[in-house]
Amino acid sequence: MKNSIAIVTGASAGIGAATAIRLAKDFSGIVLVARREEELKVTAKTVKAAGAEPLIIAADLRQVSAVDEVVAKTIEKFGQINAVVNIAGAVPQIHLFEMTDEQWNDGAEMKLHGARRLTIKAWPYLKASKGSVVLTSGNSAEDPKPGFAAVATINAAIVALAKAFAEQGIIDGVQVNSILPGPVMSNRRIGFLKKWSEANHMSMDEAKAKFLVDAHIERYGEPEEIAELIAFLVSSAAKWMTGTAVRMDGGEVKGI
């Protein structure tokens, strides 16, 4: 994949940063997209040390103009797009009966529609390069619960969207898959556990342990583990794999 360019959204922290750093081993250029420029600069240093040229684009993918900017700047600097990895977006974990329309729509705007817009905008270049797309969903898509209703609904929509893209990709030569991570230990997860521990009057250690027991898993995942999965999906080794939703969650969801 050398002399190839990958766009990674949500690259300021967590799975996004880990993925950008991992892909720097295989791609010659990594376009780092997120809202927080200072954190992107930190990721960019590690990407450069790993052997790839970084391009930082601080952008809010809820805005249509931001998607145009990302693709335009990528083409201006590198002249091609070989992979788009959509990771940006967080949906509030609020009970179904308590979530407002504004909270619901804001979560969908970035994670679902931001990914949709960026993939469509980059599609002509992906078609030209016979490239790859990964859309990040989550295992709640297969196991919706009242407290995670918006997350589960949007994640399920992402899986369906990826399959629709993949069907067109068979015609155009673009490979598209989605991933369904489980509970990964990131800043977002720490924030969730902090709120959960305070609401349930327990320490962070107790909250972490209780969550693992309730989820019936041995441990939390690491961002680098999800990054390795993504690296495989956009590699030449996985080119015959398209339209697939890959769950990686330590066995939390037991569906077939």
Q: Is 112 left (phi over 0), alpha (psi -120 to 50) or beta?
A: alpha
Spatial contact of 90 and 148, defined as CB atoms under 8 Å apart: no
What are the tokens at 94? Answer: 């609020």
Q: What is the pTM of this model?
A: 0.93
Task: Classify residue 196: in a domain, yes or no.
Answer: yes
- Give 189-195's long-range contacts (Cβ < 8 A, gap of 24+): 189/220, 192/93
**Nearest partner of 253 among 173, 142, 138, 94, judged by Cα:** 142
Q: How many distinct structural domains can be found in the chain?
A: 2
Q: Is 4 left (phi over 0), alpha (psi -120 to 50) or beta?
A: beta
- Evaluated on CA atoms 92, 35, 31, 17, the torsion sign reads negative
Task: Classify residue 62: in a domain, yes or no.
Answer: yes
- Distances in Å between the Cα of 141 and the Cα atoms of 58, 72, 177 are 29, 32, 15
In three-state secondary structure terms, 178 is strand
Same domain as 39, residue 103: yes
Task: Classify residue 107: in a domain, yes or no.
Answer: yes
Could you please report the per-residue DSSP string of 198-244?
Answer: HHTT--HHHHHHHHHHHHT-SS-B-HHHHHHHHHHHTSGGGTT--S-
Same domain as 171, residue 200: no
- The beta-strand segments (E) located in 20-165 are 29-34, 53-58, 83-86, 132-136
Residue-averaged pLDDT of the chain: 93
Task: Classify residue 256: in a domain, yes or no.
Answer: no
Spatial contact of 22 and 224, defined as CB atoms under 8 Å apart: yes
Task: Classify residue 255: in a domain, yes or no.
Answer: no
In three-state secondary structure terms, 30 is strand
Same domain as 201, residue 159: no
Q: Is 189 left (phi over 0), alpha (psi -120 to 50) or beta?
A: alpha
Residues contacting 235, CB < 8 A, separation 6+: 1, 26
Q: Note down the domain range covering 201.
A: 185-220
Task: Classify residue 207: in a domain, yes or no.
Answer: yes
Same domain as 110, residue 200: no
Q: What is the mean pLDDT of residues 201-206?
A: 88
Same domain as 179, residue 193: no
Give per-residue pLDDT as tens, 164-183: 999 999 999 999 999 999 99
| pLDDT at site 234 | 98
Same domain as 78, residue 196: no
Give per-residue pLDDT as tens, 243-255: 999 999 999 998 7
Same domain as 210, residue 148: no
Q: What is the CATH number of the domain that holds 46?
A: 3.40.50.720
Same domain as 150, residue 123: yes
Same domain as 173, residue 214: no
Same domain as 134, residue 58: yes
| pLDDT at site 211 | 84
Give per-residue pLDDT as tens, 109-166: 989 999 999 999 999 999 999 999 999 999 989 988 887 888 899 999 999 999 999 9
| pLDDT at site 1 | 64
